[in-house]
Every structure is written in C-alpha cells, then in structure tokens.
Amino acid sequence: MPPQADQPLQLMTPVQYLKGCGTARAELLEKLGIRTVRDLLFHFPRDYQDLTELQAIAEFEEGKAVSVLGTVEEVDSSRTGSGGSIVAVLVRQGNHHVRAVWFNQPFLREKFRAGQTVLVSGKPKLRGMRWEMSHPLVKHVEAEGDEARGELLPVYPLTEGLNQHRLRTLVRAALEACLDQLDEVFPEPYLHEHGLLPLREALPRMHFPASQEELERARHRLIYQELFVLQLALALKRAQVRGGVAAYPLEATAKIDARIRRLLPFELTPGQNQSIREISADMAQSLPMNRLLQGDVGSGKTIVAVYAMLVTVAHGGQVVLMAPTEVLARQHVATLERLLAGSQTRIGWLAGGQTAKERHAALAGIASGETQIVVGTQAVISSEIEFHKLALVIIDEQHKFGVRQRARLKYAGPQPHYLVMTATPIPRTIALTLFGDLDVTTLGDRPPGRQAVHTYAPAPEQREQWWEFFRKKLREGRQGYVIVPLVAERKTATPIEEAEEELEQPDFAEQANDGSAAPPMSLDAAYEALANGELEAFRIGLVHGRMSSHDKQAALEAFRRGDIQVLVATSVVEVGIDVPNATLMTIENAERFGLAQLHQLRGRVSRGSYPGYCTLFAGSSTQEAADRLQALVDNEDGFKLAEIDFSLRGPGDMLGTRQHGLPPLRVADLLRDAAVVEQARADAVPLIQQNPQLSQPELRQLRRMVLIRYGDTLELGDVG
C-alpha cells in the first residue's frame, strides 16, 4: 500500500514512493534486488573513490606524485614520426590545466569525452608553461555538483539505466526518511564492551564516510553483526542437535583398537592417528558425533573412516557410507572389500540401478542386521530402508549433497553418529562458517611414499611436445587420463544419469566475451581426435555420467587391469578413483574447472611409487585464466589453493551455496575478515550456552534477526 500524503515513509514501503524514485526507477532497482526502502539502505557500495588527499594544480611540485580532480576539456590523438601514437587529454581545474599523455595506446582515445569528471594520479612535469603527466592513472568520477568535492565517494553496484549520482541521491533520501526507524540489535552494554558503533551511526557512515577511519569503523560494525548473527544461528543448530539427544556410545577400547590395526596393511601416519583420537573421543560419548573430516588429496581419509566403521561394527552397530556418484560408491566397496578381506564384516550395496530382486535382498540384509556396512548413493536415504541398529553415518564429498538430503540421512536411524568427509580443503575460518555446526578435524600429512605431481600449463605451440612425452611414458608401461569438460549430446538421459552427469560438470565456467575462448572440447570429439591422432597406437577407453552403471564399471575395471592404457573422461573421475599405475593426466579447457576441482583431478595421478605428470591446456587466452592455472602449477598444497580459489570465486561458488543453503553475505568476506569470523564465533558460542533460546528481553532483536535470516535454512523454527 502506498503511504498517505501525511504519513512518513516506512522501512518496508515500496521504494517507488521514495522522493526522486518513481515507477520507472523502481523497476530498475528491482533488478538489483531492491524493492523496499530498507533494501536500499542495505545496498552497500562495492567501492569508494578516495577524494580526501587531492592536490590543486596551482600547488604542483615537479616529480612529486599527486592526485587531481578535474574536468576533461579536450581529447586529442596523433601519430609520431616513427609510426607510434600519442593520446593527450587536457584536464581543467578552475583556471589551471594539466595534460595527461599516453604513448602507443590509441584505444584510450575512446575512453574520454569533453565534460567528464576524472581523477588523475601521477608525477607532473613542467613542459614550457603547462604541467604534464605521462601515463597517469585515471579514474572516471561519476558525480555532480558538490559530490565531486566530497571526501570518499561511494560506488554502488548498478544496472543499465541507473547511474551513480541518481543512486546516491536515492540513498541519501532513504537515510533521511527512515534511519531513525532502524532497530538496534545489540544491547547498549554489548556495543560499549565490543567497541561497536550503534547501527544508526554506522549505516550513514557506510554509505557516505567522511574519512577512511570512519568507513572502517562503520564497516567493522556491519561485518561483525552479519558474522555474529550467522555464528549465533550455527551455535543454536549445534545446541539443537546435541541437546538431550542420545546416541550409542561406541568406545574404541584397547582390544578393539589392536584388532583393527592388525587388519590394516600399513602403519598409520601421525595425522591419521590424531584424527582417529578426535573421532574416537566423540564416538565414545552418548551424544551424537557431528564432525567434518577434511584433508588434502591423498592424505588418507578413507583409512580413518574405515577405523570408525570397524569400531561401530565391533559394538554391533551398522554403518552407512553415502557417496555422490555410483563410480565413487563402487570404489569405496572395492576398497572396503580389499581392506576387510580378513575380517567377518559384511558389506552391502545400494544403488539406483539395482534390479528388484537385488534391492529386496539388500533391504532384507539391512533390516536383519546381517549387513553391517551399507555403501551407496542417494538410494541409501530412501524411506523404505529399515536399519537394525544404525550407529554411524559417513558422507563422502559432503558438499555435493544438499542440506535436506544430509538431514534425511542423518536421522534415518536412531540417532547415529555423523561424520562427513571432504577432499576439498577448506580454510579454517570458512569451515567455521559453512560448517559451523560441525566439529572440524583436519588431516594434514601425506602418506609416506606418495610421489609429487609435476604440473604444467604449456603454451599451445608446446602441445605436440607434451603428447610425445605422454606416448613415451605409455610405452614405458604407465597409464594416463585425458579430462574434458563436457559430454557430447547423445541419447535422452535417464533421471539417474542426469543426476550423476550434473555432478560431473566443471565447477567453474569462465565466460569469455572477448572472443578469446575456443568452444569447449567434448568427450566424443577428444576420443575421436586421440584415437585417430596422437594416441592411435594405444588402447583408449571412455567413461562419463551418461553411461550405464555396468558400462562405467567395466571401463574402470579395464583401466585398473591395464587393458585400457588411456581413459578419456569427464570429471566423474574427480574423486575416489585409485589406479597407482596411472601417472599421466591431460586436462583440456582447464580454465573451465575451479582450482579445487583441478587439484582433485590432479590427485588421481601419482598414487603409487611413480611420479605423476599433469598438463593443463587452456581454451581461453585471458589473463584471469592464465593466472588461475599458474596458481595450480605453483602450488601442491590444497589448503593454499583453496584460499586462492575462495578469494577468486567466493565460498558460495566453490562449495555450492545453493546446495549448502546459506544466504549470501552482504558485507563480510570470509577470507578477508578471518579475524572477525573467529571473534564472532568466540562471542556467539558462550552466549548460546548461557541463553540457549536467546529468550531474555534484551536479546529479542538478535533472536528475531537470527530466525528471519537463518530460521528456514537451518531449521531453527522451534527456537523462541
């Protein structure tokens, strides 16, 4: 409803009724997600133009770096006698001028026009009677009137048809009309104790700060609030999961520990032993374990999980191990059967492609308790499954599953312990946020004997040199992978095939609009080109998500046996595939994969006693693509690569925020603001311990904000 003429605007008033907006601009604002006056107040600048230390042209000193704000008066371009070019822009400030000059950059001519306001930074030199700067830094300042003489000028995310000046004017109007209606979420003593600005001071300073110091104080207040509310929600979720819920206590006694270690074919690493101690301490409790086990590629997480499984089985409990794809699930079955060949443990299998007879037999074994370890894909969360005594749930590559899928599995039996694993290393502060309802165990060391992987990002003209090396190693008896980003269009896929194919898509797709990107290579095209070209003398196989389960498994088994020398595949082989003799990997259109996924793929080679070799061919010549691939060449540490990947793409893109379910953060950055993440968590956890429902009157606004922001996502509906 529109406000009456004599009524003030409210925070939830549609933005079109704000002075200076109207219907047409409201439609543009809606493209930015701005529908109400409140939305506009919390549409924060993406950057600021610093106009705090400007120099007057009349006060220039030769050779001393300065920044000057002025208006473009003339734009000129010419040729030099040697065939070069000169672009010159005359900038006026009052009655004074400075000439900005660029050599051999003719394209700059189109970036300037008379009347523009520009910020020019460089070292001036006096040429005759006029100041001149060679190759200065120039920023276009979209401002009118007094704005151009401001201190820190906000730069907002825009949409076509909306300019900075108009958006600044609307934000000022919204602040004037509704700032005093904003409720403070923190009690007054809390603000004082933590040195936080009140919201009604922080918000206008966030939009129009008078100084860098003022901006930092305002930004800190808003970042802290955003992260604190999130950590409160996660702490509430932890309290809900653990509060008064009983689980089977599964102690790893000395006798059980000795029996398990006799089954394992090798000594455990210090990191594996530490991880086992942390997990065993949780499982011995009568409260359900909720733990994330993360480790770099090849760090030995599977053995840690097997230990937890065998502790469970020793107490008469059942285990579920769920993997995102059938390929990975079958790999787990093969690993378990090999490791547990000398034990009496019975392993069952559940997948979407089973016959009715196979499925009936599998369900009967689970219901009777005869099957002690159940491995499968999403089929294991079916409501028709009845467990005899489900005591431990393990989810591998957990970020491939949605929140609700994991929740269904978690409560499929009578309060099992819960362990999720990932080979996508996650920086600590991000783990505390995206998985803040879980305890985190990090497995950091590499099993002894594991060889390094030599990684290259060669120029296109070095392609034949790589293939010659590839063939040489094949002739020596090694095997290799060729990874491509896409499966060619084939038949109509079944729902199961479509689900698995979605999981094997590249987790990053660079959008090159400058024509520099070649069309991505498909699996069929790569197979045909290799079979009739570089690798025509060798035995080549195929594997991808649209193949039947039988055909996929047959191809992988042939590769393991060595019947196939080169496996052409999509990223379906990203995790879990263990062929020690495979030491070669070629990745086509590598820029279409994220760093974490490339690191996972690289982890498929060098799993034995031979060194591995991985080459990344790019289909795009952009600098961004080159920089990302070079990061992989320069780093073998998955945690370091994870930080680079998060900084480039953000946690939502990398781990699938859509699947994880958390709303995007407005102002906080989980890497940049790592210290604030830690502080927010340290403040939130004891507050929830003291006030499990946030029920005190002074915490009412905090509780309301937590429920509005995260109530549905984290299923906190019963709080308060």
**The CATH number of the domain where 14 resides is what?**
1.10.150
Q: Is residue 580 a part of any domain in this protein?
A: yes
- pLDDT at position 491: 45
Residue 472 pLDDT class (50, 70, 90 cuts) = very high
**Contact at 8 Å (CB) between 3 and 9?**
yes
Q: For residue 134, what are the domain limits?
A: 52-140
Residue 486 lies in a domain: yes
E-assigned strand segments in 245-388: 290-295, 318-322, 347-350, 373-376
Residues 538 and 470 reside in one and the same domain: yes
Note if the pTM is more than 0.85: no
Q: Are residues 31 and 57 in the same domain?
A: no
Residues 28 and 104 in one domain: no
Residue 303 CB neighbours (<10 A): 20
Q: Which residues contact 568 (CB under 8 A, 6 or more apart)?
A: 481, 482, 484, 523, 526, 527, 530, 540, 541, 542, 543
pLDDT value for 503: 43
* DSSP codes joined into one string, 93-127: ETTEEEEEEEES-GGGGGG--TT-EEEEEE--EEE
Q: What is the pLDDT averaged over residues 231-235?
A: 89
Query: And the tokens for 184?
Result: 């403070």
Mean pLDDT of 285-305: 86
Statement: residue 624 has pLDDT above 90:
no
Higher pLDDT: 612 or 82? It is 612
- Does the pLDDT value for residue 323 go beyond 90? no
Q: Is the pLDDT of residue 500 over 70?
A: no
pLDDT digits (tens, 9 = 90+) for 356-402: 898 899 999 999 999 999 998 877 877 678 889 999 999 887 555 54
Residue 498 within a domain: yes
The label of the residue with tokens 């907002």 reads 156
Query: What confidence tier does 662 reach under pLDDT thresholds 50, 70, 90?
Result: low
Polymer length in residues for the chain: 720
Tokens of 58: 């009349």
Task: Please give the mean pLDDT across all residues of the chain.
Answer: 83
Same domain, 480 and 356: no
* Same domain membership, residue 89 and residue 42: no
Q: Is residue 628 part of a domain?
A: yes
- The continuous run of DSSP H or E covering 87 comes out as strand 85-93
219 falls within a domain: no
| Number of separate domains in the chain | 4
Lowest model confidence (mean pLDDT) among 70-74, 547-551, 629-633: 547-551
Q: Which of 315, 339, 340, 329 is nearest to 362 (CA)?
A: 329
Residue 667 lies in a domain: no
Using CA atoms, how far apart are residues 506 and 625, in angstroms rounded to an integer?
14
pLDDT for the residue numbered 651:
52
| Whether residue 134 is found in the same domain as residue 163 | no
Q: Is the pLDDT of residue 604 over 50?
A: yes
Give the residue from 101, 1, 97 showing the smallest Cα distance to 57.
97
Lowest mean pLDDT, pick from 148-162, 503-517, 651-665: 503-517
Check if the beta carbon of residue 11 is closer than 8 Å to that of residue 25. no
CA dihedral angle for residue 386, residue 391, residue 394, residue 399, rounded to 10 degrees: 80
Contact 429, 234 (CB under 8 A): no
User: What does the DSSP 8-state code read for residue 14?
Assistant: B
Query: Which residue among 572, 600, 635 closes a domain?
Result: 635
Q: Does the structure show a pLDDT above 90 at 434? A: no
Whether 652 has a pLDDT exceeding 60, the answer reads no
**Mean pLDDT, rounded, for 112-121:** 88
The pLDDT value recorded for residue 150 is 54
Rounded CA gap, 283 and 285, in Å?
A: 5
CA nearest to 601, candidates 625, 582, 581, 628:
582
**Residue position matching structure tokens 């010419």:** 78
Q: How many other CB atoms sit within 10 Å of the CB of residue 577?
A: 22
Q: Please name the amino acid found at residue 36.
A: T
Q: What are phi and psi of 435, to 5 degrees?
A: -130, 40
410 falls in which pLDDT band (50, 70, 90)? low
Decide: 320 and 396 in contact? Cβ < 8 Å: no
Per-residue model confidence as pLDDT tens digits over 477-487: 999 999 998 87
Same domain, 36 and 161: yes
Do 45 and 64 fall into the same domain? Answer: no
Give the domain-ending residue among 82, 109, 140: 140
Q: Are 348 and 362 in contact (CB under 8 A)?
A: yes
Residue where a domain stops, chosen among 618, 635, 652 = 635
**Nearest in space to 593 (alpha carbons), one of 360, 424, 357, 380:** 424
Name the token pair of 657.
Answer: 């925020």
The answer to whether residues 263 and 406 belong to one domain is yes
Task: Specify the DSSP element, H or E, that contains 567.
Answer: strand 566-569
Q: Are 309 and 339 in contact (CB under 8 A)?
A: no
Beta bridge partners of 103: 86
Q: What are the tokens at 559?
A: 């590769």
Do 29 and 78 lie in a common domain? no
In this structure, how many other beta carbons lie within 10 angstroms of the beta carbon of residue 682?
10
| 519 and 482 inside one domain | yes
Average pLDDT over residues 88-111: 90
Q: Give the pLDDT band of residue 352 (cuts 50, 70, 90).
A: confident
Do 510 and 627 fall into the same domain?
A: yes
Q: Is residue 657 part of a domain?
A: no
Of 152, 119, 180, 159, nearest in space to 30 by CA? 159
* pLDDT on residue 649: 63
Structure tokens at 703: 């509780």
The encoded tokens of residue 560 equal 């393991």
More confident residue, 452 or 349: 349
Domain of 605, CATH number, reads: 3.40.50.300
Q: Any idea which residue has 């001036």 for tokens?
A: 124
**Calpha distance 200→184 (Å, rounded):** 8
Q: With beta carbons less than 8 A apart as the criterion, state whether 593 and 485 touch.
A: yes
238 lies in a domain? no
Q: What share of the chain is helix, strand, coil (3-state, %, to 5)?
A: 45, 20, 40
Q: Helices marked H in 186-323 — which ranges?
A: 188-194, 199-207, 212-242, 254-263, 270-283, 301-314
